[in-house]
Amino acid sequence: MKSVVYLALFSLLLFVSCQSNEQSTSSQKQETQDLIQNPFYNADSAYVFVANQVAFGPRVPNTDAHKKCGDYMVATLQRFGAEVTEQRVQLKAYNNTILDARNIIGSFNPEQKTRIFLCAHWDSRPYSDNDTDSANYHTPVQGANDGASGVGVLLELARLMQQVPPTIGVDIILFDAEDYGRPSFDKSADIGDSFCLGSQYWSRNPHKEGYKPKYGILLDMVGGKNPTFLQEYFSMLYAPDVVKMVWKKAHQLGYQDYFISQPGNPVIDDHYYINKIANIPCIDIIHYSNQTGFVDTWHTIYDTMENIDKTTLGVVGRVVTAVVYSEK
């Protein structure tokens, strides 16, 4: 009699196991099908958006290039159907310079309560203080990768969202005054919180009262050659589920050589203040190596279009597109 019970129990467990495997396989097939049906992300178009920003010159606050590029981004987001909000604010830099800063927010499906946000910084660093030649320290950075690449990826996504509206609400937030922090050659002041001034302001004063999206994704230096995107420390500390979800999408798309499932060192970036001050889970997709640090063009005169890779822009763009269109 016991053998009959055991046999029946084994048969039941086998049935449940098979059913579970079938459900898991079905779910995986559905996820794969959803990825295939995502709108086509055009890396060439993203590259043009990057080049258009760089063509204005370094987007250092208080300069003509900065003003013209800001106007260009507002017009581009409006052209793609976004409801645009601007935060124009004067922010004090580490050296007491008053910066005429401008956070730019483009909202898609503004009536939707369920929202996520995607962000990047759009300003350029006024110093090439990581350059190998100290004579270049006071030369503004072109910011093709550090600044324009993230914005370019998001502007192409904005174009897609006009053509194929997502189910949820999506806010594209372009932060200003991220890179006006204390330069390494100036020892007269503490670095402190001198970077990421625009996101610090927004975190304390969001563009809409009571703004509570599900999560955010920051793109920083996402246009370089042969990048590795590690699971950055603060991203995993504050938003581990978002990191795992995004990296899973990347791996499903075949980009596991870019999106490495390894812990990354802590990086103080816009997402840090969004998590800490606004208490909104936000992750950072950033080109960084635990061994060598930032890419070698970082904060140098060589952060130019010659070092921008269309393939990388396409990889990151397709991953973020998959995330947006998987949200219901």
Say whether pLDDT at 280 is over 50: yes
Q: What is the dihedral of CA 177, 120, 276, 239, to 10 degrees?
A: -170
Question: Dihedral of CA 8/10/11/13: which sign?
Answer: positive
Say whether pLDDT at 22 is over 90: no
| Whether the predicted model's global pTM rises above the 0.85 cut | yes
Going by pLDDT thresholds of 50, 70 and 90, the confidence category of residue 37 is confident
Question: Dihedral of CA 169/224/293/196: which sign?
Answer: negative
Nearest alpha carbon to residue 121 among 140, 106, 102, 97 = 102
Say whether pLDDT at 305 is over 60: yes
Is 204 a domain residue? yes
Going by pLDDT thresholds of 50, 70 and 90, the confidence category of residue 307 is very high
Residue 84 is which amino acid?
A: V
pLDDT at 176: 99
| 41-97 pLDDT tens trace | 999 999 999 999 999 999 999 999 999 999 999 999 999 999 999 999 999 999 999
pLDDT at 187: 86
Is 219 a domain residue? yes
More confident site: 296 or 25: 296
> Which residues are CB-neighbours of 67 under 8 A, at least 6 positions away?
none
pLDDT at 19: 59
Say whether pLDDT at 311 is over 50: yes
Is 320 a domain residue? yes
Going by pLDDT thresholds of 50, 70 and 90, the confidence category of residue 31 is low
Kindly give the residue spans of alpha helices, DSSP state H, lying in 137-229.
150-163, 197-204
Backbone phi, psi, residue 96, to 5°: 75, 5
What residue has token string 């053509």? Answer: 163
Decide: helix, strand or coil at residue 129: coil
pLDDT at 92: 98
Residue 152 is which amino acid?
A: G
For residue 207 the two structure tokens come to 């563009």
- CATH code, domain with 85: 3.40.630.10
Residue 156, CB half-sphere, CA atoms under 13 Å: how many? 29
Is 298 a domain residue? yes
Is 24 a domain residue? no
pLDDT at 15: 47
Going by pLDDT thresholds of 50, 70 and 90, the confidence category of residue 9 is very low
Mean pLDDT on 121-136: 98
Is 2 a domain residue? no
Q: Which structural domain, as residue segments, surrounds residue 121? A: 35-326
Q: Which range (163-172, 184-193, 247-256) has the least confidence? A: 184-193
| 173-211 pLDDT tens trace | 999 999 999 999 998 877 889 999 999 999 999 999 999
Is 9 a domain residue? no
pLDDT at 7: 39
Question: Domain tally for the chain?
Answer: 1
Nearest alpha carbon to residue 293 among 140, 184, 154, 137 = 184
Q: List C-alpha distances in Å: 230 to 133, 197, 239, 241.
A: 29, 25, 14, 15
Is 25 a domain residue? no
Dist. CA 217–CA 172, nearest whole Å: 10
